[in-house]
């Protein structure tokens, strides 16, 4: 690229004087005024520029580098004066836009909308199932009673051969999305059957009731469908366990003080029913 001719470094006086700036300013002004009619366009690598008649095709490098700060200042002054002359600032110099236009390429970007569906988080995750024998704190056993298609659990004392009537309970343990070491989510089902303890409310009643419901595969149930079957097993310092309903907090699986009564769901403030149980693995 050619530039407007300025004096060589060797021609610049070593001593600085106030007349130096006037010298370059006057010379450039006179030269530009006399040669305005001789400005012409030339094409070089797809860029048009205006050149003066005294332009040389190459820039000579001084034989010895000049380190004088004053000379650098004078060169800057000359260049600024050239840029201030009408017709030179836009025709002989390029700016950032001239460079970026050859680097940046404008392309249309196609955006494809992708629909995503967030999976519903699982509140309880099945872990494993173990079989236990569960008795209340007075050692009453839980037995299954069926009558005309209806099944329920009774609590009664069993001895001798009658002990075979005691129900074996499948205790399914689960991981919770909000784990609490004091409350372990479990399901309670009758071993060998597809019956599981469930908490629900009936029309016209305010308190929930406990019942046995048939479920083909309890492991397939999740979230709201599983919640009525979940109980929080709590263990206290006396090795007793209590089972609080997850669907109805504050309600516990309870047995009556009397024998042969149905296992029920009672509020925590009840002082009559028993809600502490002993769990023994069925070996």
Q: Is 109 helix (H, G, I), strand (E, B) or coil?
A: coil
170: pLDDT strictly greater than 80: yes
User: What pLDDT was estimated at residue 264?
Assistant: 96
Mean local confidence (pLDDT), 46-70: 51
Residue (of 229, 233, 224) closest to 212 by Cα position: 229
CA dihedral 212, 271, 186, 191 (to 10 degrees): -40
Burial of 237 (0-12, 13-18, 19+ CB in 10 A): exposed
Sign of the dihedral defined by the CA atoms of residues 45, 47, 53, 56, in that order: negative
- Return the residue matching tokens 């009664």: 156
CATH class of the domain comprising 124-281: mainly beta
- The segment(s) of the chain belonging to CATH 2.80.10.50 are 124-281
Cα gap 116→113, rounded to integer Å: 10
46: pLDDT strictly greater than 50: no
Confidence (pTM): 0.58
Q: Residue 147: which pLDDT band, with cuts at 50, 70 and 90?
A: confident
User: What pLDDT was estimated at residue 203?
Assistant: 84
């Amino acid at each position: 690229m050619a530039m407007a001719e300025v004096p060589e470094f060797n021609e610049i006086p070593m001593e600085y004087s106030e007349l130096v700036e006037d010298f370059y300013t006057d010379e450039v002004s006179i030269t530009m005024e006399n040669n305005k009619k001789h400005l012409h366009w030339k094409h070089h690598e797809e860029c048009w520029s205006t050149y003066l008649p005294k332009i040389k095709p190459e820039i000579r490098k001084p034989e010895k580098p000049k380190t004088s700060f004053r000379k650098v200042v004078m060169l800057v002054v000359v260049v600024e004066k050239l840029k201030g002359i009408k017709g030179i600032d836009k025709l002989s110099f390029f700016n950032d836009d001239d460079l970026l236009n050859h680097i940046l390429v404008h392309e249309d970007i196609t955006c494809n909308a992708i629909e995503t569906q967030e999976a519903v988080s699982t509140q309880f995750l099945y872990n494993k199932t173990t079989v236990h024998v569960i008795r209340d704190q007075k050692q009453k056993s839980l037995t299954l009673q069926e009558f005309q298609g209806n099944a329920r659990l009774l609590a009664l004392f069993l001895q001798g051969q009658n002990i075979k009537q005691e129900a074996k309970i499948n205790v399914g343990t689960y991981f919770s999305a909000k784990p609490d070491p004091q409350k372990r989510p479990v399901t309670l089902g009758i071993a060998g059957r597809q019956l599981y303890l469930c908490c629900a409310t009936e029309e016209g009643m305010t308190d929930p009731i406990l019942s046995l419901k048939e479920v083909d595969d309890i492991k397939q149930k999740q979230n709201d469908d599983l919640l009525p079957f979940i109980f929080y097993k709590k263990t206290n310092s006396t090795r007793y366990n209590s089972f609080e309903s997850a669907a109805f907090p504050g309600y516990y699986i309870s047995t009556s003080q009397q024998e042969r009564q149905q296992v029920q769901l009672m509020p925590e403030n009840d002082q009559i029913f028993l809600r502490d149980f002993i769990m023994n693995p069925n070996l």
